[in-house]
Every structure is written in C-alpha cells, then in structure tokens.
C-alpha cells in the first residue's frame, strides 16, 4: 500500500477567536427574571411568620391600617402606629427584615425626591408627613405579603365575598408567573451558552424567547384545562370557615383599638381648631 501523506493544512492548529459581544441584554434579563422568581417563590409560612393571626384578620387589619394612616390629619396618630410597627419589625431577623424593608425604603426615597421642591415653597409639613405615611403603608403591605402565602390570600378574598372569576384569574396568574418565568430563564441561559461571536440581531433573539414562552403557555393552558375537566372543577371556590381562635380575638381588638384611636385623635384635632 502506498503511504498517504496528510496535507499540511490539516496538521496546523486552528485558533478561532470569535469577536467579543456584549451580553448585557441576556445578563440583565436573567437577573430581572431571577429577582421576580425569588419574590414569587414562597417559603413555608410557619417558618417565617411573626404574625399568628388568621389571613382574614391580617388582611382586614392591614387594609384598615393603610386607610386610617392615609386619612389621618393628626400626625400624632401616624407617630403612634409608626412606633408600634417598628416594634413589630424589631422581632424579625436581619435577613428577613431586609427583604421586608427593601420596597418601603425605595418608596420613601422616591417620595422624598418628588416632594423636595416643596421645601422651597415652605411646605415642610408635607415634606415630612407624606413620606412617613408612604413608608408606613408600604411597610404594612410588605409585612402582609411576606408573612402570608398566596394560596391563603385566595381563601381570605373568598371570605370577603370576592367573585370566583377574580379568584380564578388571581390563582392562575400567580402560578404561571413562576412557570413561564422559569421557561424564559432557561431559554435565556440556553441562548447565552450557544452564542458564539457577535450577534447583531438581538431583537430577533428576544422574539424567539417570547415565541417559545407563548407556545409553552398555550400548551400549559390546554393541560390545565384538561386537568380541571378530569377533576370536575366547576370554577367555584368554596368558602373556608376557620374557627375563631384566641389570637384572632386579639386581632379584632387591635382593629377596634386602631379605629378608636383614629376617631379620638381626629375629634381632638377638630376641638383644638
């Protein structure tokens, strides 16, 4: 047999250096999706909640708190409930406290920036009162969201007479925000790992990710419909009647005390005027 000589060009080592590309779009999109998914995933309520009231009591207390703080004209009421709220926050661990306060602090900073020109007009009271009310109301809502799982919100809304259609949309939206978010995150990671060189058509990549999410959403919707049909789901949510506990009576007393304090201070400010 004749010896076959290998061409010289096959023996040369090929060094491919693809041009660098900016992947800020993929990194920022993945970071945003990860943040949303982290917020949406809930840890077991019993491991983190400092508020032992039932969800109905917590929801009613939070709504009453927000309404009274927003309507109060006596700053003494804001100071009193603010101190009580800070005492409650002091019972949380540092890591959990940071998760609760991240949104209220952002709202506080934004309100301070918006109201900064009022200082030039001599409206110092508005510059103090409005950010304080913003911080307290957002903190109360953040505490409620952190200490309560989403499925318990559905039960609480049903107890307050919310329509079944609203509860159904609420339930599915919260579930599929996580599901579709994970799909988009996996697709972004796949695009990042398979990208070589410079991609000048990033808009087309975004369209592909949205298309994949749409197709998976359509498939999940059909699977969800089939599952509900097999389980004979009629679209009606049953009202869960939880027994009144002693701690819930304390929550009712807090609601009444908060309302009584608001009325007393509002009457006091009117008498002083």
CA dist., res. 124 & res. 120, Å (int) = 9
Q: Give the pTM.
A: 0.68
Rounded-to-integer distance, Cα 121 and Cα 136, Å: 25
Q: What is the tens place of the pLDDT at every residue in 154-203? A: 777 777 777 777 777 877 777 777 777 777 777 777 777 666 556 666 66
pLDDT beyond 50 at 46? no
Per-residue tokens: 9: 């060009």
What is the Cα–Cα distance from 226 to 221, expressed in whole angstroms? Answer: 9
Average pLDDT in the 50-63 region?
79
């Amino acid at each position: 047999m004749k010896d076959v000589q290998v061409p010289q060009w096959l023996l040369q080592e090929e060094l491919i250096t693809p041009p660098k590309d900016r992947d800020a779009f993929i990194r920022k999109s993945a970071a945003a999706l990860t943040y949303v998914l982290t917020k949406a995933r809930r840890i077991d309520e019993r491991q983190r909640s400092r508020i032992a009231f039932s969800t109905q009591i917590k929801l009613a207390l939070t709504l009453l708190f927000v309404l009274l703080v927003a309507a109060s004209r006596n700053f003494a009421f804001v100071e009193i409930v603010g101190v009580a709220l800070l005492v409650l926050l002091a019972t949380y661990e540092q890591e959990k406290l940071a998760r609760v306060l991240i949104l209220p602090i952002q709202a506080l900073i934004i309100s301070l920036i918006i109201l900064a020109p009022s200082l030039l007009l001599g409206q110092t009271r508005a510059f103090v009162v409005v950010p304080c009310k913003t911080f307290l109301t957002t903190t109360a809502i953040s505490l409620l969201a952190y200490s309560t799982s989403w499925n318990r919100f559905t039960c609480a809304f049903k107890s307050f007479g919310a329509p079944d259609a609203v509860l159904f949309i609420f339930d599915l939206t919260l579930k599929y925000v996580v599901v579709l978010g994970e799909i988009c995150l996996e697709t972004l990671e796949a695009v990042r790992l398979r990208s070589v060189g410079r991609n000048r058509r990033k808009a087309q990549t975004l369209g592909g990710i949205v298309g994949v999410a749409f197709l998976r959403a359509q498939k999940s919707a059909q699977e969800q419909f089939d599952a509900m049909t097999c389980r004979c789901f009629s679209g009606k949510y049953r009202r869960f009647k939880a027994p009144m506990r002693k701690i819930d009576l304390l929550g009712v007393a807090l609601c009444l005390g908060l309302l009584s304090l608001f009325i007393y201070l509002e009457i006091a400010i009117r008498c002083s005027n």
